[in-house]
Structure 1
Amino acid sequence: MADKSAIEWTEATWNPTTGCDKISAGCDNCYALTLSKRLKFMGSAKYQNDGNPITSGPGFDVTIHEDALDIPRRWREPRTVFVNSMSDLFHARVPLDYVRRVFDVMADTPRHTYQVLTKRAFRLAKLAPMLEWPTNVWMGVSVESEDELSRVDHLRTVPAAVRFISAEPLLGQLDNINLNDIHWLIAGGESGQGARPVDPEWVRGLRDRCADAGTAFFFKQWGGRTPKAGGRLLDGRTWDEMPARALMPALSLF
C-alpha cells in the first residue's frame, strides 16, 4: 500500500530505507526522528532494527528494506512519490548497489514521478555518474542556511531532469543562493516542539530570487507547533508553483 502524504508538494511516500542521523542545524528538530519513536512504540517493524545487517541499534538507525522495493510496481495509477521521507538515500550507510536497485525501480515505473531529497550532497555528486537517471526522477538537496549553499553546487552536477532545493526548515537568509540550473525551490518554516521561527523577509527574498531566475517557487508552511499552525499564505496568497520541466502527467495533483 502507498503511504498517503500530507506534504503539500507530493502525493505519497515510499521508504525503501529508513533511519538517518544529524548532519547539520536543519536536523536539530527532525520530524522523522520524532515520528520514528512513535512508530517504534506502536510496534512498526521498520523501526525495531533487530538483527539488521547494516546496524544493530534501535529505532532510527539506517536500515534497508528490501521487501519495500517493489511497492511502486504495484501502484497502477500514476502518482508523485517522495522517496525516503524517513531517511536519506545517499547516506553513507546505504550501499551503492542498493541505491542502484532503488533507481532501477524508478526507471521501471515511468508512470510515477519520484522526488528524492538529500542532505548528503557530496555523496550524491560522487555517485551520480554511477547511476542511470530516468526522466521521472527529480533530485533535490536541503539547504536551511547559507552554511549549506555548497549543496546546491553539488546538485548542479547531477543530470536529473528536475533539480530542486528544499529550504525547510528555513533558518536564515539565503541572499547568496545561486539558482542557475535549479528548476524548483520549496521554502518552509519549522514545525513541532521548539520550532524555530522563520522571518517573512527570508521567504520573500527567496520568492523574488526565484522569480528573477525563472525557478518555480513553492511555499509550504510558516510552521509552528504543528505544520498547519501558521498557515501557508504569503502576502495574501498561496504559492504552489511547480517546475516547468516536469515531464510526467502525475504532476496534475493540485
Structure 2
Amino acid sequence: MGENTKIEWAHHTFNPWVGCTKVSSACDNCYAEGWAKRTGQAALWQGDRRRTAESNWRQPLKWNRHAEAEGTRYRVFCSSLADVFDNQVPADWRADLWALIRDTPKLEWLLLTKRPQNIVKMVKAIGFMPANIAFGTTVEDRKAVEQRLGHLIVAAGLRPRFLFASCEPLLENLGDLSPWMKGNPYPQHLYPGERWREGFRIGADGIAQIPGIAWWISGGESGPNARPMHADWERSIRLQCLEAGVAYLGKQWGEWAPGGDWYEHHPTSLEVRGWTGSTWSDDPAIWSDAENYMVRLGKKRAGRLFDSAEHNGFPEVPA
C-alpha cells in the first residue's frame, strides 16, 4: 500500500484506504479496479471502502524522519487505489489523514482527485489545512478540462503548495489550456458558482488574484485494453507549458508508441492503429494522418521519450 513507487513524479505512494467509483472515461480501464478484482475485492468498486492497516499509516512517519535526516522533501502520491475526496469515504478517515499530513511536514503530499468540486467543502469540514499539500485533478479530455479545472482553481483559496493537472490517460487533444496556466486575471465564467473568490486576495479593481496551475503531467494508458495517445496531443500540452513558463512532466507513452522503425522492422507482429480524426482504427485507408500511426509495444518498450527527450519538470516552490 505504500513505500517506494515506480511512478515518475513521486517518491512514495500511500493509500489510507482503498476503493473507488468510476466517474468518467479516464476510469474505463482503471488499474486499481483491476487490482481489486484480481485480489477478490471487487466490492471495493461497488460501494465498499476499506481503511488500510495501522502499520501502513505509520509508514509516512518513517519517510518524514528519513527526509528530515537527509535535509530534503519526499513527494507522496496519495491515493493511488482510491480518491481522497470520495463522497463515500467516512469523514473521520479524511480527518485522520489530515492529521497525518500535518505531522509529516517534510513530505510533500500530492492529492490527485477526479472530484475537485469536493475539495473546498471537505477541507473546511475538517477545520484546518496543512501547508504541505498540493491539489491536483485528472483531465483526460476536453470535457474534463471544462468540468474540473475551474473547481481546482477554486481550491487555491485554501493555500496549497501548488496546483497540478494530470492528463493521463490522455484521450484527446485538450485544446487551449492557457487560461488555466497563466494566472490572474481570469474570466469569472471559468469558475463554478460564487465561491470562486473565497480565500483569494481581491485587487482594487475587484478581480481576484488567482494563481495558475503550476505543474502539468501527461501520459498514455497502459494495460490490456489501453487506448493510444496521439503524439500531437502530448506535444500541445508540452509546448503550452513552455510558453506559459510552467512545469511539464511527460510520464509515459503507455501501451502504444509512434510507429516509425518499430513497424518498419516488424510489420506483421505488432498491432497498429491510426487516428481517423475522431477515433482510432486499424484500417489505414481511413486514417486522417497516415504518417502518424501507433503500434502496441507495451509500456516498457514504449518508454517515455517525447520528441527524442525525457521531460521531467517539477514546480519550483519554496521548501
Gaps of 5+ in 2: 68-73, 184-211, 256-296
Call closer, same or farther: CA 1:20–1:228 in 2, change over 3 Å: same
Kept in 2: contact 1:222–1:230 (CA 8 A): yes
Q: How far, CA to CA, are the matches of 2:2 and 2:138 in structure 1?
A: 24
Gap change, CA 1:59 and 1:169, over 3 Å in 2: closer
Measured after TM superposition, the shift of residue 196 of structure 1 is 0.5
Contact 2:15 2:79 (C-alpha < 8 Å) held by counterparts: yes
Q: How does 1:85-234 map to 2 (within 5 A)?
A: 85-131=80-126, 132-149=128-145, 150-158=147-155, 159-177=159-177, 178-179=180-181, 180=183, 181-224=212-255, 226-234=298-306
- Structure 2 SS opposite 1:157: helix
In the alignment, residue 144 of structure 1 is paired with which amino acid? E
What residue ranges of structure 1 are gaps of 5+ in the alignment? 42-46, 49-56, 249-254
C-alpha distance in 2 between matches for 1:58 and 1:175: 35
CA distance in 2, matches of 1:100, 1:228: 38
Alpha-carbon displacement from aligned partner over 1:92-149 (angstroms, at most 9, x marks no partner): 1112332121011111111111111100111123323345332321111001001111
C-alpha RMSD of matched pairs (Å):
2.0
The 1-side partners of 2:60 and 2:162 are apart by 20
Partner of 2:6: 6
SS of match in other structure, 2:301: coil
Larger radius of gyration: 2
CA contact (8 A) 2:18 2:44 kept: no
Opposite residue 144 of structure 2, the aligned amino acid is: E
Whole-Å separation in 2 of the counterparts to 1:17 and 1:126 = 20
Which SS does the other structure have where 1:93 is aligned? coil
Stretch deviating more after TM superposition (3-12 or 72-81): 72-81
- Could you report, residue by residue, the CA deviation over 1:141-186 in whole angstroms, capped at 9, with x for unpaired residues? 0010011112111111113111100000000111133223101000
Query: Structure 1 segments of 4 or more deviating over 4 A?
Result: none
Map residues 28-67 of structure 1 onto 2, 5 A cutoff.
28-38=28-38, 40=39, 47=41, 57=43, 61-65=48-52, 67=54
Equivalent residue pairs, number: 233
State whether residues 221 and 228 of structure 1, in contact with CA within 8 Å, keep that contact through their aligned partners in structure 2. Answer: no
Distance 1:23 1:236 in 2: 34
Q: Are 1:238 and 2:235 an aligned pair?
A: no
**Which amino acid is 1:161 matched to?**
R
Q: Which of residues 76, 79, 101 in structure 2 aligns to 1:81?
A: 76
Q: What is the CA-CA distance between 1:59 and the residue it aligns to?
A: 6.9
TM-score by structure 1 length? 0.85
Which secondary structure does the structure 2 equivalent of 1:85 belong to?
coil
- Secondary structure of the 2:221 match is coil
Q: Secondary structure at the match of 1:186?
A: strand
**In percent, how many aligned pairs have the same letter?**
35
CA displacement at 1:21 relative to structure 2:
1.4
Tell me how far apart the structure 1 counterparts of residues 129 and 29 of structure 2 sit (CA, whole Å): 32
CA distance 1:182–1:59, shift in 2 (3 Å): closer
Q: 2 CA distance for matches of 1:58 and 1:173? A: 32
| Aligned amino acid, residue 142 of structure 1 | T
Letter in 1 for 2:82: S
> Could you tell me how far apart the structure 2 residues matched to 1:182 and 1:59 are?
30
CA distance in 2, matches of 1:182, 1:237: 23
Measured in 2, the distance between the counterparts of 1:226 and 1:123 equals 35
C-alpha separation in 2, matches of 1:239 and 1:127: 34
Indicate the structure with greater helix content: 2
**Residues 209, 130 of structure 1: alpha-carbon distance in 2 compared, 3 angstrom cutoff:** farther
> 1:184-228 CA deviation, whole Å, 9 max, x = no partner?
000000000121011111111001111122220000001106433
